[in-house]
Structure 1
Amino acid sequence: MDYFPLFIDLKNKNCLVVGAGEVAARKIELLAKAGAIITVVAPEISNNVTQLAANNPKLEIIQKDFSPEDIAQQRLIISATNQATINALVAETADTHNIPVNVVDNPGLCSFIVPAIIDRSPVIAAVSSGGTSPVLARLLRAKLESLIPPAFGRMAQLAEKYRALVKEKINPPAQRRIFWEKILQGSIAELFYSGKEAEAEARLKDAILNSPDKLDNTGEVYLVGAGPGDPDLLTFRALRLMQQADVVVYDRLVSDGILELVRRDAEKIYVGKQRDNHSLAQESINELLARLAKSGKRVVRLKGGDPFIFGRGGEEIETLVEQNINFQVVPGITAASGCATYAGIPLTHRDHAQSCTFITGHLKDNTVNLNWQQLAVPRQTIVIYMGLVGLEIICKSMIQYGAAADLPIALIQQGTTHNQRVITGTLSTLPDKLKNQSIHAPTLFIIGTVVSLHNTLKWFQADSTPEEY
């Protein structure tokens, strides 16, 4: 171990920063967050440092060159200048007086290094590469940021509030550890993270006073939007819940890459639907979620796109509400937004569309019942989910009700994934163009003059066959 990891209390302690450029400003901000009394010594002061001083009464600027006398009474020193001789003098002086010193980007002159920080105060995590690769440390920090909820610090404060009571009521220490593990990884913590802090605290107190050895193991359901396909588009909350779920109930539109991020030992239950081929009826899915939660499982209901946009998420949580089962809903990037963005087709644009309408193109009785007069109005964008089978009817109906026959339309197949394919045409030409094509779900259609921007704005390079126009 090259460095001993140590957290130091700097509240109202004197700290010196030598230098006042942009790098120094970042260090000053960190020291200020720790509550330090900061002295900045530098012959030239950047605007950022001047602004920091204006907003912080604990920050004093002394505009002059550094001299060894400046280190008097300092608890910690940071040198952030671009002058090697000054940095060396600061390090030598600090070492002589046994004061911890950090010289930015020069590990050889440092007695301590500043790690990449994950701040969930009072919980603090730090990542260091020993000064060898600060970029690598920041990348590791970014991974940890995705796993630690923003409310983690407040949860720690709640635990501190009841720590003495738990110690009084639960013995021996091993049982206290098990109790806290169940609290901090279970339904009470998830209530807290989802904003139900008062209810979480009430249940925690009840568990301590009445049944610490029989902690409520009631399960819960997380209705999670998996987005349009690219795993990078998952939210932090979605990823965290996927990695702690006991069971994952997933749809056909959830990509393999996203399923790879689920906890390895979680049970996976497929409930996907295809046209006229449902592996499980919707009512059965609703009851399955409730039954799993009642058995004590943490259940992720993983749905492509967003669960509240043509995802029947509302129907599923209605059943959970009726049966008094805890749940969370985690939004995902809906296919309209994700696929349009990856295809370089803005859904709104000042010169093309001032509104956007999402519709489902499902056939019912061999027709599509929609408000055609409204959809045929110009200067808007129409996004069609599940419209492949009914496309010909949709295009003919729009032309019949006044839309221009040459109005641009795009098919986006497997959008945001490496298999993405974009085929463009017009209302009058695209249905015939697709008849000899091998099209694979999921698909999405975008209608409107915004489609004409695709050639100019496309940026995502897929691995599949070239786009067709």
Structure 2
Amino acid sequence: MAAEKAKVYLVGAGPGDPDLLTIKAARILGEAQAVIYDKIVSPEILALANPQATFIPARKERGQQEAFEAEIHAWYLRLRDAVGPVVRLKSGDPLVFGRGGEELEFLSQHGFNVEVVPGVSALTAAPTLAGIPLGGVSAAVTVLPGHRQAVTEVDWPAYRHGGTLVVLMGVDHRAEIARFLINGGRQARDPVAFLQYASTDRECVVESTLEQVARGEVAVEPPAVFVIGEVVRLRTASGSPSRKRGQTTLSPLVSS
């Protein structure tokens, strides 16, 4: 009889604040024998893992997606005979635009026992922490991936009539996304909010318009989620919730 392969947990680490890690995720981390973690995961969350575990950083470089995935798959195969749980710790939720689906498929094809542990996604956490409700103004909320391939495949004119857009992983292509939306019929004056480092001590909100973003006038850096639509104005009216950790502040635009 073939030896049973190690159990792999695809675990969501949440948006950054360790207090937003789920109880189940913390328990599994404490039992892990190996932890393959995204470099964006905070040291505070890693400190909750079994100190005797093997810690393996998953270092993805821009433009090296295929090599990154191959490296992760190779680690899974090396750890297939691990005596205890293997944790793949991914920021946010493991199956929300984070290539977790591809990893899940690989593990299933290779006979691993896999369990997915959901996490709090920046998709909802970042707007909430910034005081931006995703509902209440528009009847629809659309979530879009902002990486290079998705940007070229999206039917941008489909979003010309308004509605709330939430873009993940799109900071590097923000000007191009804004131009596509404007050229597709979206109003250039539509408000935009970039939500950087949500739930961490570096949390920051940058408000702008599609036109300013399209002209390259807004300085932001990943990780960030950005929200497009009238819901952004509600933050201006109500202000963001006050929290002990990661106070949200309004950053100025880059001068044109």
Q: 1:400 to 1:253 in 2, by over 3 A?
A: same
- Of 116, 125, 135, which residue of structure 2 is paired with 1:348? 135
Question: Which residue of structure 1 aligns with residue 74 of structure 2?
Answer: 287
Equivalences for residues 177-188 of structure 1 within 5 A:
none
Quote the Cα distance in structure 1 between the aligned partners of 2:145 and 2:248: 27
Whichever of the two has the greater Rg, that structure is 1
Amino acid of the structure 2 residue aligned with 1:459: P
Residue 370, structure 1, aligned to residue 151, structure 2: no
Residue 242, structure 1, aligned to residue 29, structure 2: yes
Specify which structure has the higher proportion of helix: 1
Quote the Cα distance in structure 2 between the aligned partners of 1:269 and 1:254: 12
Residue by residue over 1:287-339, the C-alpha shift from the partner in whole angstroms, topping out at 9 and shown as x without a partner, is 32243133334100000111111111121121221222111100111111011
Aligned-pair distance for 1:377?
Answer: 2.4
Residue 449, structure 1, aligned to residue 230, structure 2: yes
Does the aligned pair in 2 maintain the 1:273–1:279 contact within 8 Å? no
Quote the Cα distance in structure 2 between the aligned partners of 1:383 and 1:220: 34
Residue 419, structure 1, aligned to residue 194, structure 2: no
Question: Which residue of structure 2 aligns with residue 67 of structure 1?
Answer: none
Does the aligned pair in 1 maintain the 2:130–2:248 contact within 8 Å? no
Quote the Cα distance in structure 2 between the aligned partners of 1:277 and 1:283: 10
Residue by residue over 1:149-201, the C-alpha shift from the partner in whole angstroms, topping out at 9 and shown as x without a partner, is xxxxxxxxxxxxxxxxxxxxxxxxxxxxxxxxxxxxxxxxxxxxxxxxxxxxx
Quote the Cα distance in structure 2 between the aligned partners of 1:468 and 1:280: 36
- Of 133, 142, 147, which residue of structure 2 is paired with 1:357? 142
- Of 230, 235, 240, which residue of structure 2 is paired with 1:458? 240
Quote the Cα distance in structure 1 between the aligned partners of 2:149 and 2:102: 20
Residue 262, structure 1, aligned to residue 60, structure 2: no
Question: Which has the bigger relative contact order, CA under 8 A and spacing at least 6?
Answer: 2
Quote the Cα distance in structure 1 between the aligned partners of 2:248 and 2:119: 27
Equivalences for residues 104-253 of structure 1 within 5 A:
218-253=5-40
Does the aligned pair in 2 maintain the 1:408–1:447 contact within 8 Å? yes
Aligned-pair distance for 1:424?
Answer: 0.4
Does the aligned pair in 2 maintain the 1:306–1:334 contact within 8 Å? yes
Does the aligned pair in 1 maintain the 2:198–2:246 contact within 8 Å? no
Residue by residue over 1:356-385, the C-alpha shift from the partner in whole angstroms, topping out at 9 and shown as x without a partner, is 1111111249x633111222222x211111
SS at match of 2:8: strand
Residue 386, structure 1, aligned to residue 169, structure 2: yes
Q: TM-score, normalised by structure 2?
A: 0.88
Aligned-pair distance for 1:230?
Answer: 1.1
Q: TM-score, normalised by structure 1?
A: 0.50
Does the aligned pair in 2 maintain the 1:223–1:327 contact within 8 Å? yes
Structure 2, unaligned runs of 5 or more:
none
Does the aligned pair in 2 maintain the 1:382–1:447 contact within 8 Å? yes
Aligned-pair distance for 1:252?
Answer: 2.2
Does the aligned pair in 2 maintain the 1:272–1:280 contact within 8 Å? no
Quote the Cα distance in structure 1 between the aligned partners of 2:41 and 2:196: 14
Equivalences for residues 309-324 of structure 1 within 5 A:
309-324=96-111
Quote the Cα distance in structure 2 between the aligned partners of 1:328 and 1:361: 27
Quote the Cα distance in structure 2 between the aligned partners of 1:259 and 1:279: 26
Aligned alpha-carbon RMSD (Å) = 2.3
- Of 247, 271, 275, which residue of structure 1 is paired with 2:62? 275
Aligned-pair distance for 1:217?
Answer: 6.7
Structure 1, unaligned runs of 5 or more:
1-215
Quote the Cα distance in structure 2 between the aligned partners of 1:390 and 1:376: 19
Residue by residue over 1:227-259, the C-alpha shift from the partner in whole angstroms, topping out at 9 and shown as x without a partner, is 111111111111110110000001122122211
Aligned-pair distance for 1:277?
Answer: 4.9
Q: 1:235 to 1:450 in 2, by over 3 A?
A: same
Q: Where does structure 1 differ by over 2 angstroms across 4 or more consecutive aligned residues? A: 276-281, 293-297, 430-433, 460-466
Aligned-pair distance for 1:392?
Answer: 0.9
Does the aligned pair in 2 maintain the 1:399–1:405 contact within 8 Å? yes
SS at match of 1:258: helix
Question: Which residue of structure 2 aligns with residue 198 of structure 1?
Answer: none
State, as a whole percentage, how many aligned pairs show the same letter: 36
